[in-house]
Structure formats: structure tokens, C-alpha cells
Amino acid sequence: MAQPAPAAAITHRLVPSPAGRIHVVEQGSGPLVLLVHGFPESWYSWRRQLPVLAAAGYRAVALDVRGYGRSSKPTDVAAYRMLELVEDNVAVVHALGERTAVIVGHDWGATIAANSALVRPEVFRAVGLLSVPYAPRGGPRPGEVFARMGGEEEFYVSYFQEPGRAEAEIEPDVRGWLAGFYAALSGGTMPPAGAPDPHFVSRGGRLRDRFPAGRLPAWLDGDDLDVYAAEFERTGLTGALNRYRNMDRDWEDLAGFDGAPVTQPSLFVGGALDASTTWMADAIAAYPATLPGLMSSHVLDGCGHWIQQERPDVVNEILTGWLAALPA
């Protein structure tokens, strides 16, 4: 009796990019699918997608965004602006010997993926967005918008934008902070309705003051948490947080794309309990104009923010079905 083919091995490599180097983790062969993580994560966030995409006939590649993991960490805050991250993604595609790729992102990675498709459509032929909807550049300067949110409280984005401030909260206890942050935004462990919102900080307080204590979400065991914590204990959080510190620069850099749609074939998957989905409901409603190539859109009941880790089987089924339906 014929034996099943062995699973494709996972390989790690460093490839050149404008950042210096980007760490990529690769499994499988076939059309290239580039997977871009969000905050505060790493390539490891795609550990449950890599083997499934490889088995479905794709070259699945998850990267560490600049500032994370084994990728380069420039010291200049402005080095983390969106256009720099787009060019890192282009460099990865070319370093892997490919001309085009499908790009899929989660959280900040979704925004990076959408802008990669917007700015470099000749490289990124389709785009999948997880958790964070696409919203075109427009409106007032983002820093001004975030500063007005929350009333007497401070929105977490504004909190993250001040250099060194969030680092002082997180870095003395990286593992504990990450555990609380992941739990605060996960279906099943997030604070109940009516409790203080963990996306906001009391004046003079800390973000972690509103995290649920002593509970890990079902998708995260102690070993997984150790992987994330070890990376950030080694690298610190500044590179990751510098993404938030460039939102006004992005608004300036992308002025030429004001209101522009992403026209490639696209996919959106969100969690019904995720603030990114509920707060940005208008962005989702605008998809006929902003994502005219949208092939399917899904909002998963009972799911929080960490969607491909909370619901790996459902997300994998959606991803492989969408990829199979893409034009050749």
C-alpha cells in the first residue's frame, strides 16, 4: 500500500530587505502566499496555517515584520513607516525568486498587506485581511483623531505613540503583560460587557490595569506564550511599538492614495467580538467601493481578535477555499 507523502519541512532563512534582513519561515511549494503578522506577535502566529497551506499546494511563507524576532530592527523611528514595510514585503517576494505573491495579513499585518497591494499591485496579485478591515487613507490626521477618543480616558494607540512609555509598562514583565493582552482581546476571556474597556487607559494608569488576571485564552498554552515572551524579552518592544509611532507619517506619505480602493481579488475575515470589526463596521459596509474585488467576507460568531489562532480550522478552510478560487 502506498504511503502518504511526508509533510513538507519548515525552513527558516534570512533574506535581504531595505530593513537589512527579514526572517522568513517557509513550508511547501507552489504559488507563493506571504503571511504578515500583527502586534504583538511574530511569524509564530501562523503556525497553524503554514502546514495546511503547504498541504493544499502553496508555498506558505510567514515573516517577522521589521522590528520583530530575527528581522532587523532599525533605530530610527521613521524607519517603521508603512512604505518601508511595503518595500520589505516586495524584497521578500523577490529574494524568494518570485515575481508575484498573494499576501495575507492579520491586525497590523492586515493594514500592511492592504497597503502592499495598493502601492505595489504588480507584485501582490490578491490580498487577504484578517481582523482589521481595509479603510482608505483619508480624513483628519490620525494622531488628532486618536487624541479625541475616550474622553477622560486615553485610547491605547495614543498611549503607544509616546516613545518609551509603553515599554516601561511591558518590559519588566513581558510574559505576564502578553498573557493579559492576549486574554483581553480573545473570545472567552475578554472583559464582560460593561467592564472597563482594555483599549483605554485611565489617566495616570496602565493598559494592563484592565487585563483579565490569571487566565490564558483557550488558543494559547504556556509553551506558546513562552515562544512569544522569549522573542520580546530578547528584542524589547520598541521596534514593534514604532509601527504606532508612524501613523501620521503614513497619512502624509500616502496622500497620493487618498480614498483609493484596493482592486485585486480580496478576502476579509473578522471576529464578531473583536473591536476592530465592530468599531470599523462602516469600513466593512463600504467594501463595494473600497474593495471592489472582494470575493468573500466572513464574521465569525464568538471570536475575538486573534482570529487565525482562535479559530484555526475555520480560517484555514476559508483561506484554502479562497486561494483555490483565485484567478490563475
Q: Do 32 and 93 contact (CB within 8 A), yes or no?
A: yes
- pLDDT value for 217: 96
What φ, ψ does residue 13 adopt, rounded to 5°? -155, 160
| 208 within a domain of the structure (yes/no) | yes
Residues annotated as catalytic are 107, 305
Domains identified in the chain, total number:
1
Is 5 domain-assigned? Answer: no
Q: Kindly report the CATH number assigned to the domain that includes residue 269.
A: 3.40.50.1820
What is the model's pLDDT at position 2? 46
Structural domain includes residue 254: yes
Mean pLDDT, residues 135-146: 93
For the stretch 243-258, pLDDT in tens is 999 999 999 999 999 9
Taking 3-state DSSP, the helix, strand and coil percentages for the chain, each rounded to the nearest 5, stand at 45, 15, 40
Q: In what order do the strands lie in the sheet with 20-27?
A: 10-17, 20-27, 59-63, 32-36, 101-106, 124-130, 266-271, 294-300
Least confident of 22-26, 210-214, 251-255, 309-313: 210-214
pTM of this prediction? 0.97
Task: Say which residues have a Cβ less than 8 Å from residue 252's Cβ, sequence separation at least 6.
Answer: none
Condensed to tens digits (0 to 9), the pLDDT of residues 292-308 reads 999 999 999 999 999 99
Mean pLDDT, to the nearest integer, of 21-50? 98
Q: How confident is the model at residue 151, as a pLDDT? A: 83
pLDDT at 196: 92
Flag whether 2 is in a domain.
Answer: no
- 1 in a domain, yes or no? no
Environment class of residue 38 by beta-carbon count within 10 Å: exposed (0-12), middle (13-18) or buried (19+)? buried
Are residues 208 and 175 in contact, defined by beta-carbon separation less than 8 angstroms? no
Return the pLDDT at 123.
98
pLDDT bucket at 152, cuts 50 / 70 / 90? confident
> Pick the residue with more confidence: 316 or 3?
316
Residue 8 binned pLDDT confidence (cut-offs 50, 70, 90): confident
Mean pLDDT for the chain?
Answer: 95
> 229 is in which domain, residue-wise?
10-325
Q: What angle do CA 268, 272, 273 make, to 5 degrees?
A: 130
Average pLDDT over residues 265-286: 96
Share of the chain above pLDDT 70, in %: 98
- Span 21-35, mean pLDDT? 98
Query: For 110-137, what is the mean pLDDT?
Result: 98
pLDDT over 70 (residue 1):
no
Whether 263 is covered by a domain: the verdict is: yes
Q: Assess if residue 21 is contained within a domain.
A: yes
Residue 56 lies in a domain: yes
Upstream peptide bond of 40 is cis (omega within 30 degrees of 0): yes
How confident is residue 7, by pLDDT bands cut at 50, 70 and 90?
Answer: low
